[in-house]
Amino acid sequence: MQVIETHTMEEIFERIKPCEAFKMQGNHNPVMTQRFGADPYALVYDGRVYLYMTGDDPMYDENGKLKENTYGNINKINVVSSQDLVNWTDHGTVYAASESGAAKWGANSWAPAATYKKIDGKDRFFLYFANNGNGIAVLSADSPVGPFIDPINGPLISRKTPNCAEVTWLFDPAVLMDDDGSAYLYVGGGVPSPDKASNPGTARVVKLANDMISLDGDPQPIENVAFLFEDSGINKINDKYYYSYCSNFSMTREDEEKHGFEQGEIVTLVSDSPMGPFKPYRPVLKNPEFFFGLGGNNHHCMFEFKNQWYITYHSRILEEAMGMNGGYRSTNIDILDIKDGGPSVSKGTREGVKQLSYLNPYDEVKAVTMSNSAGINTVQYGDDAVLSGSGDMIVSVIKDGSWLSVEGVDFGDEKPFEICMKIKSSGEGAIRVSIDGYDGQAIAYVPVEASGNEDEDIFIALEYVPEGVHDLYFTFAGSDYEVISWRFLK
């Protein structure tokens, strides 16, 4: 065990000012701040929620001025997961499209949708996304975080697919796995012409074949989707099928009063069959502008986790906190109300949802598991992740005052005596481990020495023994080192 001089460490951190976070401590939206992530889609698997998000990437002109988000440079999909909906593990960015991605034939990766199915006795994961507004790709993997491959080397749905050539925006997939093992894909959007704004006729549904990478029939129109704009959604709740979408921006005040929803709002339809016909049901989420002051397109996914329904959607609160104004989106989660057996009106908040379970500090915890952070970044870790973009990640780009936090860590009454941090370093520094704030009670100071960038376990005796449930903070000094994981020993 290494011996450290506590007073020296205290002096180091007294001189360091913590970096400013982009969300208030205690707020849970957006779910991550180290990257943008739009058009979220939730997959519940093995006790965790996986969120797949369009990888908004800020664009700048030749003078370094921020450009408006046109989505044209997006070819990656961000992935995070959580078992408590507060502490999120970063799984990186799926290299989805373009010559450097899995779907080399495609230019873009917008609006992902994900599901899994047991095939040949093994769970297989499928990631659907839009190639710009001109078709749907499908990737597959043996893990929810990849590495993903393109099993068909071409589009699953294109303008050559029957009943799809006339769809204005052939994008925004959603996927339903029904109770009998059958699967359905929902796509489409856009307004063909101003006179068709009230009933664009651009929504489609198609049954997927058993392999999940081909179609079982031709896509069929979803009739009478009033003021459709974009953003397919689909859920089965209490044996009813709820198709959801974002309304377009051509609605007059009279239209809004007649239909009972506003422009840019998430709206639901209901049916007894996954293929329809659907009839109007309820609006469920107003445009983010209503809650946060900045608007734009509205994109959502409704999901059930641990006997509670939630809605995940994007807003612009992260870019606002960063002092940006370019239409770059980040992902939120809030409660979805269920009334009379179906989805009802929900509210967008900065506070987000409550933590569902406590984190166990005696298991090895990936350092990229965070409720909040400031002044850090995350990078791929290991050959597979570096090649495909997603998988294992580590905390990187550390500097004086960088920090990260995890909420609701349950030490119980076990009286831990030591912390182990796995680190790789070409530089030097130190880590202050504290509870209930980066300026809270210090429980350990971890010295960092150059290790030739080799993984190294550093064991440090605790200065203070925590008991019960606390938030845990890691504050960093120095640079040129990366943090892989941590755990407490009892």
Active site residue 39: yes
Tally the residues of the chain. Answer: 490
Q: Which residues contact 181 (CB under 8 A, 6 or more apart)?
A: 117
Point out which residues pair with 283 in neighbouring strands.
267
What is the SS3 assignment for 149? strand
Tokens of 146: 């990849």
**Nearest alpha-carbon partner for 146 in 206, 210, 94:** 94
CA distances from 217 to 133, 209, 210, 243 (A): 22, 8, 12, 20
Q: Which among 84, 150, 230, 407 is annotated as catalytic?
A: 230
Active site residue 178: no
Q: Which among 39, 90, 334, 392 is annotated as catalytic?
A: 39
Contact (Cβ atoms closer than 8 angstroms) between residue 328 and residue 316 = yes
Q: Where are the alpha helices (DSSP H) in 110-264?
A: 253-259
Q: Please measure the distance between the N-terminal and C-terminal CA atoms of the chain and give it in whole angstroms.
A: 15
The H or E element containing residue 228 is strand 228-237
The H or E element containing residue 318 is helix 317-321
CA separation for the pair 288, 183 (Å, rounded) = 31
Active-site amino acid positions: 39, 230
